[in-house]
Amino acid sequence: MRMALFWLMQGCQPGDLLVFHFSGHGSQQRNYTGDEVDGFDETLCPLDFETQGMIVDNEINATIVKPLPRVAKLHAIIDACHSGTVLDLPFLCRMDRLVAFCCFSVAQL
């Protein structure tokens, strides 16, 4: 999977549209560098994670987010536990009760 992430970025040009899709297991591990507010790094668990290790959010960001040319777009569809911040983007989403309730109500329809 690491090789596929590098392949995805190979030759990426401004204006390109990239898609990264992962459906599988996600997890967390203790963060020792202090760059995570909650103290945990989010991870993806590829099929061989028991021998090759989990792919940590910092690695994903360094591989497919930071090298992205300014005008290129990356659509990441990640269906895994703890995947909300797995790209390690510099944005913070804050939701109040009203928004959370509205989202919950829409999901119930």
Beta strands in the chain (DSSP E): 17-23, 25-30, 40-45, 55-56, 73-79
Q: Are 56 and 41 spatial neighbours (Cβ–Cβ below 8 Å)? A: yes
For the chain, the farthest-separated pair of C-alpha atoms sits apart, in whole angstroms, at 44
25, 45, 93, 102: the active-site residue: 25
Identify the sign of the CA torsion 92, 97, 98, 101.
Answer: positive
* Active site (annotated) includes residue 25: yes
* Active site (annotated) includes residue 81: yes
* Total number of residues shown for the chain: 109
45, 75, 81, 103: the active-site residue: 81
Instruction: Give me the residue label for tokens 């995570």.
Output: 36
Catalytic site positions: 25, 81
